[in-house]
Amino acid sequence: MREQGYERLKELTGLLREAGRVYYQESGEIMSNFEYDRLYDELQSLEEELGITLSGSPTANVGYEVLSELPKERHESRMLSLDKTKETEGLKEFLGEKRALMSWKLDGLTIVLTYRGGKLYKAVTRGNGEVGEVITSNAKVFKNIPLQISFKGELILRGEAVISYRDFEKINDGIEEAAAKYKNPRNLCSGSVRQLNNEVTAKRNVRFYAFSLVQADGVDFSNSRACQMEWLKSQGFEVVEYHIVERDTVEQEVRWFSEKISGNEFPSDGLVLVLDDIAYGRSLGQTAKFPRDSIAFKWADETRMTELLEIEWSPSRTGLINPVAIFRPVELEGTTVSRASVHNISIMEELELGVGDEIEVYKANMIIPQIARNLTRSGIRDIPKLCPVCQGRTEVQQVGNAKALYCMNPECQAKHIKAFSLFASRDALNIEGLSEATLEKFVARGFIREFSDIFHLERYSEEIKGMEGFGEKSYRNLIASIEKARVTTLPKVIYGLGIAGIGLANAKVICREFHNDADALIHADEESLNSIDGIGGVLAGAFVSYFKDENHIKLLLNLLKELEIPEEIVDNTERVLEGKKFVITGSVTHFANRGEVKELIESLGGKVTGSVTAKTDFLINNDVNSASSKNKKANELNVPIISEEEFIRMTRKAD
């Protein structure tokens, strides 16, 4: 028996080490949090029973080796993990007669910030607890970190960098490659914080919540952690939400947090209890792995048994066909759930998932439905050989650490979500309510196969009203927006087709040259297009190549049957900005947005580019004296910086 136990111990150590490596170093996932915790507890029990802890065991090591290209730095004091309990009695036993702060255990990436002279001096990730990665430039573009504070002494604090569920979904929707998609907000946050280019970090809406003050020279905190947290607030930091608790209020506070989590913007995998009495907490010391002044409370996941009814295969724009488990509806954490993403075929194989199986489901972080385990384990059956959208051939491929199913048809409608999204965008047909997420659902269900189908969604009115996130009102709003979009201009239609390199400005120039004649555009040759000022050989070639495809011509002609394109009124306005190149930055007050400014410039013969160069004639910025990068570049190149009012006076020469 001891030999069997030792073999199981070795197996669990290797399995959990690999899961940890993928999770921390590759921002990936090969098992659920539920499964990891279950195996971790089994390993810990075996180690205690056998008196053996192998090298590399996750119960003995804090974190994992850092392998990124970011600079490394050793922490002044080792950052330990927290001991944990899943029972409120464990919290009471830890607390005794003392007061403590109970707060969210946010599920992100722990960061250590250092301030000197009132300015952010350094930001370092937790790393393996002893050595972290220096991410100072990235921290400076977090959404809520103060770059300067009133306190001038050395301040060291710790907190959690997190990304909201909403931003997670939005960012993941924009990632083309299936292997590059993130499994959860925590993995996305890790990848965002550890970028080598902080421009990427800046776009990810990372926020920082302080949870511990390590050092603040010369400040008297009256021996209270709560006082420290309030002081951090006074310095401009957002701190993790916390409540003061005592032994007799522990249960009601745990209940309060557990009831609130379903509405939380950020993921939390439990609670933290830290003693308010700083001196007493320090006197307790620490073990090799845990501090003794704090403890983590892991959510005791509410689980339900149910029956797997089917595996729904949902195609995406990358060609990846995602398996989704559909099961008999059950109540979990106060809501009814009936479906859970399985992510990939490897996880299906691990669960030996088959229709009719009895499965146990839960909500990860009390939010995201997941399959905890499969009691029947009948095995995978009927992986589709044909794509459910286009009926093209499918193929199982190895992607990183996992196997996934792909549609091999390059013309599959599901792969053209970006094209449909561009078509519905503001500068094209401007159809409100057709987000990429909605388009994915419509395409997957066969509602949309080409552009013209968008104008006949009323055929599927009942199905759409019954979809998650839809209802009578949202359906009516969508149809109204589609009807409004029927009246448009030919340049917006041409731009909406997504021809390589053809933006709205180029589409306007080309349509003007061919007198808004769709037939002439379809049969245009490279020579005539190349002769148009600003088009050139590359764009001319792309335009002609697009319409060499008979299917593209058919798509356009079908679309035009649905649209009303009023005859363009000849504009005799003097083209006072002919040949002038502009860059627009900052906010505008006399126009709805910068797009309107751009349209006016182009209508008067000018051009708008995205960056300031020696060929730029004017930079429009209402904050003429700002220290922005565009202003600096303009000053270096002697490009005039003009306000919106100056620009308007310039255009009035056309009156």
Spatial distance between the Cα atoms of 527 and 535, rounded to a whole number of angstroms? 11
Mean pLDDT calculated for residue range 499-519: 84
Q: What integer pLDDT is reported at residue 20 of this predicted model?
A: 74
Mean pLDDT calculated for residue range 623-650: 86
Reported confidence tier of residue 493, pLDDT bands at 50, 70, 90: very high
Q: What integer pLDDT is reported at residue 562 of this predicted model?
A: 92
Q: What integer pLDDT is reported at residue 65 of this predicted model?
A: 40
Query: Beta strand pairing status for 581-584 and 618-620?
Result: parallel
Q: What integer pLDDT is reported at residue 492 of this predicted model?
A: 92
Spatial distance between the Cα atoms of 482 and 286, rounded to a whole number of angstroms? 64
Spatial distance between the Cα atoms of 11 and 578, rounded to a whole number of angstroms? 73
Whether the pLDDT of residue 564 is over 70: the answer is: yes
Which of 11-20, 21-30, 435-444, 626-635 shows the lowest mean pLDDT across its residues? 21-30
Spatial distance between the Cα atoms of 195 and 136, rounded to a whole number of angstroms? 11
Mean pLDDT calculated for residue range 297-309: 84
Buried b (16+ CB within 10 A) or exposed e, 153-176: eebbbebbbbbbbebbebbbbeee
- pLDDT tens readout for residues 254-294: 989 888 887 788 888 889 999 999 999 899 888 877 888 89
Angle among Cα 254, 260, 266 to the nearest 5 degrees reads 110
Handedness of CA 191, 193, 196, 199 (dihedral sign): positive
Whether the pLDDT of residue 525 is over 80: the answer is: yes
Residues classed as catalytic = 105
Mean pLDDT calculated for residue range 621-635: 85
Q: What integer pLDDT is reported at residue 62 of this predicted model?
A: 42
Q: What integer pLDDT is reported at residue 220 of this predicted model?
A: 93
Q: What integer pLDDT is reported at residue 414 of this predicted model?
A: 74
- pLDDT tens readout for residues 473-483: 888 999 999 99
Spatial distance between the Cα atoms of 532 and 540, rounded to a whole number of angstroms? 9
The C-alpha R_g of the chain, in whole angstroms, comes to 29
Burial class (CB in 10 A: 0-12, 13-18, 19+), 92: middle
Mean pLDDT calculated for residue range 134-156: 88
Spatial distance between the Cα atoms of 635 and 333, rounded to a whole number of angstroms? 58
Mean pLDDT calculated for residue range 621-630: 82
Whether the pLDDT of residue 435 is over 60: the answer is: yes
Query: Beta strand pairing status for 109-116 and 119-125?
Result: antiparallel
The rounded mean pLDDT for the chain is 84
**Three-class SS string for 354-413?**
CCCCEEEEEEECCCEEEEEEECCCCCCCCCCCECCCCCCEEEEEEECCEEEEEECCCCCH
Mean pLDDT calculated for residue range 426-454: 86
Q: What integer pLDDT is reported at residue 273 of this predicted model?
A: 93
Q: For 556, phi and psi rounded to 5 degrees?
A: -65, -45
Reported confidence tier of residue 22, pLDDT bands at 50, 70, 90: low
Whether the pLDDT of residue 461 is over 50: the answer is: yes
Q: Where are the beta strands (DSSP E) in 448-566?
A: none
Burial class (CB in 10 A: 0-12, 13-18, 19+), 74: exposed
Burial class (CB in 10 A: 0-12, 13-18, 19+), 410: exposed
Mean pLDDT calculated for residue range 535-560: 88
Reported confidence tier of residue 55, pLDDT bands at 50, 70, 90: low
Q: What integer pLDDT is reported at residue 26 of this predicted model?
A: 55
Whether the pLDDT of residue 114 is over 50: the answer is: yes
* Residue that is written with structure tokens 């006082």 in the block: 227
- pLDDT tens readout for residues 179-236: 556 777 888 888 888 877 777 888 888 999 999 999 998 999 999 999 999 999 888 8
Spatial distance between the Cα atoms of 220 and 204, rounded to a whole number of angstroms? 37
Whether the pLDDT of residue 64 is over 70: the answer is: no
Mean pLDDT calculated for residue range 45-57: 72
Mean pLDDT calculated for residue range 311-321: 80
Percent of the chain surpassing pLDDT 90: 27
Which of 21-35, 433-447, 556-570, 616-630 shows the lowest mean pLDDT across its residues? 21-35
Q: What integer pLDDT is reported at residue 655 of this predicted model?
A: 47
